[in-house]
Amino acid sequence: MLDPVLYFGAFRLPVYSLMLLVAVVTAFVSAVYRLPYRFAQVIDVALAAVVLGLIGARLEYVALAWDYFAAHPAELLHPELGGLGWHGAVIGAYAGLALMARWRGLDRRELLSRGAWALPLIALAGWVGCAAAGCGYGREVDTLANYADWLVWETRDVYGILAPRYATARFGVALAVAVALVGALTRRERRVWVMLALLSAGMFGIGFLRADASPLVGSLRADQIIDAVFLVMAVQRLFTTENTVR
């Protein structure tokens, strides 16, 4: 991944990593701010969610790109070179939250509803970072002149090749904003599942326009299959939550 680098004095930080860092810190502070009681316990839960979320994100990426990592095992433990999967991040973060919440005696459902804003925040950061770094790039088109301006742009892929492509990062940013807006209009107890369902459906659709490497299952990308599973799971949990509230 050709990730542009920003320099802060003697420090250097890739744009993609910086965007994710900002999103994680923002979500972390938001969770603590919204749950001021039992401050130390909430900090523990947030840290567990972040750590296991990052581990899960890396494991997903490695699993989906195993052919590459089997030939380059030295890169397995270097996520700064590129490679995080959002499904693994969600699974890991949920596991960290649930386990630590139980250990620290906090209500897992309340924490989930309060921390739901991490979904659109991290999605937004990831797609903005990908616009800079060339990840998640779209399929090539013949020429920009044959498409609406909002649909395509000229950008580089992960190899640095500049070409007219579908503007997948633009669609991802719009999706993240839409998820946040819909979440703001949703009741708190349903918010995380509505956000997850909308994000999964949107990512499934964007998957048809992506050209970055992914194993195929029939005509679908492997990540699209996981998107569909997440969508079904989120809708199921949404209806379960709705029946519980009633």
Question: CA 246, CA 230: separation in Å to the nearest integer?
Answer: 24
Which among 154, 203, 194 has a CA at the least distance from the CA of 174?
203
Helices 222-245 & 188-207, crossing angle to 10 degrees? 160
Task: Provide the pLDDT for residue 107.
Answer: 86
- Contact by Cβ (8 Å): 137, 156: yes
**How many other CB atoms are there within 10 angstroms of residue 174's CB atom?**
16
For the stretch 173-217, pLDDT in tens is 999 999 999 999 999 889 999 999 999 999 999 999 999 988 999
pLDDT above 90: percentage of residues in the chain: 46
Q: Kindly indicate the confidence band of residue 131, based on its pLDDT and cuts at 50, 70 and 90.
A: confident
Burial state string for 31-54 with b = 16 or more CB within 10 A and e = fewer than 16: beeebeeeeebbbbbbebbbebbb
Question: CA 198, CA 183: separation in Å to the nearest integer?
Answer: 10
Distances (CA, A) of 239 to 87, 115, 232: 21, 20, 11
Helices 118-133 & 188-207, crossing angle to 10 degrees? 30
pTM of the model: 0.87
Average pLDDT, the chain: 84
Sign, Cα dihedral of 98, 103, 109, 111 = negative
Q: What's the CA dihedral at 42, 39, 194, 215 to 10 degrees?
A: -30
For the stretch 141-177, pLDDT in tens is 999 999 999 999 998 887 888 999 999 999 999 999 9
Q: Which residues contact 63 (CB under 8 A, 6 or more apart)?
A: none
